[in-house]
A and B are shown apart, each in its own frame.
Chain A
């Protein structure tokens, strides 16, 4: 799908952006016919003051999109604007309005946490005093005050991630790019990140967040763009997206492979015409349901009445896999595609 909008009014705007990586060993100018298209006509429009989720599986092009928008990568075709500034033409002005947390923590391990933040603050041209003050504020916000004067080498993965995030928030940027900011964090660390993002947005910052977790995008974002093979394949609110994917699913694992057909029949009846997916080797049947509790009760009772033994039965929320299955017809990985029964 494509998003066509005028330039003004969006905090981040990408229109038909194409980015090809040079193949290994490929000589000469980039842009020829060779090279894989990591972004292939990528469209994105982010409203100011919102959190926008960029959701996609490994290799979809999330990092590439973020790096293009954060002025780190040049693109070959299309148009990209951040904070109203053309990314290709005014990279330096864009840089003074953005913050970036890359997929891998960018922490200077030769310095302490505090020294990291002060250095980046000075390089953001805050001046000594303001940089020191800002470092103090951020250490406090990210619960790093105690560890502030320890070398960053001694930090745990989560602390490093938090320090990294703090560094990208030094300026209270207009637009903040977060590339999988909670990957590798424990639930508490995840919560802190979400908290910080919300606080920043309350202060007027626009956040573009990439993630592989539908749940994370759901919790934080008011809008989600789903990216696959370098293209935006959906752009909607989390609710609308989940509705398209079908909301909650009921899942039944039959104890006996011979009962599979009966299970499919029951689930199909309760699901009311929705797509029923059968995974024969796993003896698993699942389908989306509108009313989760009613469906679970009905299926369980019905199977018991028919005397069908069940190994497992439950409800599950739609995962990124489901989103992809629905939107693209292929899953996020090339695992054996389950048969689809009507």
Chain B
């Protein structure tokens, strides 16, 4: 390592980085958490400075909630019986959580195109922090979104009679789905070249969220489509939360549906295990 003399008059306390290496005596784990928190804080500050952004982000799900609830609400039948609105709301929650990865992707590609990601990468921060900090912040925002959605749903007549524990479990599963898709969002955000291109992801993402049990039972779809819909992770979360809220389920009798609670945990874990490492590696190796 090169050492050289510095003039104490000009440097003096001007060496804030000096100390025992980049880690100032703390462990890597300490910095992973600390850096993650700083990125979280940064993302939340973005929202705090632009509360309108949240309103826009919520506009779509709230509107679709009202649209589907009122416009189609009476025209659709639930195979197992029960009100369509009761069936629909948990599905809408799951779909909103699933679509959340788009806002993650757009935020990440914006950072990448502005060179902010490069700056982070040229700094001694923990390589996991960019993804984990983003994830933590997005979860906080998602929890707020979910609360607002649930209140809206209650206002238009949705009822859950699964008890407090059931409701908490349902919210937990919904956030778990959002959590797992954050890494897909971070990964995609660093894969696409521009924020405009990220917008194009909607065209792919939206149908993917539709082919699920969100709006109708997969048993009403053509066989092959119904199969895809039944195995869609969104369906598992939707069905599991329906059960936990005490709302009617699609009742198509498939194995995945009967094990919805299990699958609503397994799917997010699998997605996380695949995409979290991909996202972190992509951050470290961006444009290499």
Contact = CB atoms under 8 A, between A and B. Distances in A.
A270 interface: no
A123 B6 contact: no
B22 A102 contact: no
A274 interface: no
Contacts of B49: 110-112, 151
A115 to B, nearest CB: 6
A95 B115 contact: no
B123 A120 contact: yes
Contacts of A111: 42, 45-46, 49
B38 interface: yes
Contact of B122 (A72, A107, A115): A72
A11 interface: yes
Interface in B269-288: 285-288
Contacts, number: 131
A304 interface: no
Contacts of A171: 16-17
A196 interface: no
A9 interface: yes
B116 interface: yes
A78 B116 CA distance: 28
B17 A173 contact: yes
A167 B118 CA distance: 13
Contacts of A123: 35, 38-39, 120, 123, 125, 129
A5 interface: no
Contacts of B14: 172, 203
B27 interface: no
A200 B100 CA distance: 44
Nearest to B30: A125
A contact patch SS: loop
Contacts of A216: none
Contacts of A119: 38, 41-42
Contact of B121 (A72, A122, A168): A72
B16 A71 contact: no
A325 B84 CA distance: 77
Interface in B121-163: 121-125, 129
A265 interface: no
List the 8 closest A-B pairs by CB distance, nearest first: A96-B22, A106-B115, A110-B46, A96-B124, A171-B17, A84-B2, A106-B119, A204-B6
14 contacts: A72-B121, A72-B122, A95-B124, A96-B21, A105-B115, A111-B42, A123-B38, A124-B123, A125-B124, A134-B16, A202-B7, A203-B6, A204-B4, A204-B10
Given A100-B118, A106-B115, 19 more contacts: A11-B2, A72-B286, A100-B122, A102-B115, A104-B114, A104-B115, A106-B119, A107-B114, A108-B42, A110-B45, A111-B49, A122-B38, A123-B125, A125-B22, A126-B17, A172-B14, A172-B17, A203-B14, A204-B11
Interface of B: 1-2, 4, 6-7, 10-11, 14-17, 21-24, 31, 34-35, 38-39, 41-42, 45-46, 49-50, 111, 114-116, 118-125, 129, 285-288
